[in-house]
Structure 1
Amino acid sequence: MIKHTWVQTLLRVVLGVIFMAHGISKFQMGLVNVEGWFSSIGVPGFMAYVAAIIELVGGAMLILGLFTRVVSALFVVLMLGAIVTVKLSVGLLGNNETAGYELDLALMMISVYLLAEGPGSLSVDRFIFKKRSVQ
C-alpha cells in the first residue's frame, strides 16, 4: 500500500512537471509563434493557446493533486491529438528529422493510469474530497 501511494504520487508529480515545462516552453516561444506553427500543420491556431494553458495550469494542478482525474482526461485528449495530427505519420520512433510518438504515448498512458486510479492519498484531492484513494 505504501509503495503504491509513492508510485502514484511520483507518477502524478513527474507528469505534472513535464506538462508544466511544455506549457512554459510554449509561452517562452511566444504563443503567436506557436499559433502559426499549429496553423501550418492544419490545427486551428487558437488551439495553441488552449494547449499551452492546459499544459501549464494542468501541470501545476497535477503536481498538487488537484482535480487529478479531470486534468488527466484533458492530457489524454491533448496527447491523442498530438499523436494523430503531428506524430503518427513519422511512426513510433520517428525519423532523422522528427521524433516519433513514443513519448506522447507514454505520457498518455500515465494520464490514463491517473484517470483510472486517481491522485493517491498524498494529494489535495484527498483532503478536499475527504475520500480514501483506492489502493
Structure 2
Amino acid sequence: MKHLIFQTNNTWTGTLLRWTVGIVFIPHGLQKTLGLFGGMGWDGTMKFFTENLQLPYMVASTVILVEFLGSISLLLGWATRFWALSFIGLLIGIMFSSHLDNGFFMNWLGTQKGEGCQFDILAIGIVVTLLMEGGGKLSVDRWVFTKNILKKEL
C-alpha cells in the first residue's frame, strides 16, 4: 500500500502542480501555526475554529496541519498522493462549510457577504490531478520510488 503513496509519473506536471498548491497554501499554514502574515498562530486559530466556527478540536487541528505540513510536503514532493487526498478533504470541507452559501464567485470587490466556491473548485481540480499524477520530477516520492527504498513492500 505504501508504494502507491510514493509512486509517481516522471513528468513536470506533478512538479508544477504541487509547487503551485504548496506556494499558495504555505502562507495560510504559516498564519495558522506561527502567526506569520498577520495570522493568529496555533492558539488563536484553534480558538477561532472551535469557538466561532464550532469545529471539533480534531477537525480544527487537522485543517491547520494539512495547510502547514501538507504545503511543505507538497513543495518537497513527499507523499504527494496522501497530501493531495488530504487537500481534497480540506477543500471540500471549506467549500461546503464556508463558501457555497456565498455563491460561485470570489469576493473580489467586497460586495458579497463572503467568498464563493470558485477557488475551492479550481484547487480541487489541481489536487485531484496530483492524486492521479503523483509528485513528478524533483520529488522525494520519485527518489524513494526509483531507489526501491520500499522494495520489500512492493
Q: TM-score range by the shorter chain?
A: 0.7 to 0.9
**Structure 2: how far apart are the matches of 1:42 and 1:86?**
12
Whether the 8 Å CA contact 1:41–1:86 is kept in 2: the answer is: no
Which residue identity is paired with 1:24?
Answer: L
What are the equivalent positions in structure 2 for 1:73-84 lying under 5 Å apart?
73-84=85-96
Matched, 1:123 2:139: yes
Residue of structure 1 in register with 2:5 after alignment = none
Whether the 8 Å CA contact 1:16–1:59 is kept in 2: the answer is: yes
What are the equivalent positions in structure 2 for 1:52-63 lying under 5 Å apart?
52-63=64-75
Matched, 1:19 2:25: yes
Q: Return the offset for 1:46.
A: 4.1
Unaligned runs of 5+ in 2: 1-9, 148-154
Matched, 1:69 2:75: no
**Structure 2: how far apart are the matches of 1:30 and 1:21?**
12
Whether the 8 Å CA contact 2:12–2:137 is kept in 1: the answer is: no
TM-score normalised by structure 2 residue count: 0.74
Matched, 1:99 2:115: yes
Q: 1:31 aligns with which of 34, 39, 42?
A: 42
Bigger Cα Rg? 2
Q: Return the offset for 1:34.
A: 1.9
Taking only the aligned residue pairs, the percentage that are identical comes to 34
Moved more, 81-90 or 13-22: 13-22
Q: Return the offset for 1:123.
A: 1.2
Q: Return the offset for 1:16.
A: 1.1
Residue of structure 1 in register with 2:3 after alignment = none
RMSD: 1.9
**Structure 2: how far apart are the matches of 1:114 and 1:123?**
12
SS at match of 2:104: coil
TM-score normalised by structure 1 residue count: 0.84
Moved more, 52-61 or 37-46: 37-46
Regions of 4+ moved over 6 Å: none
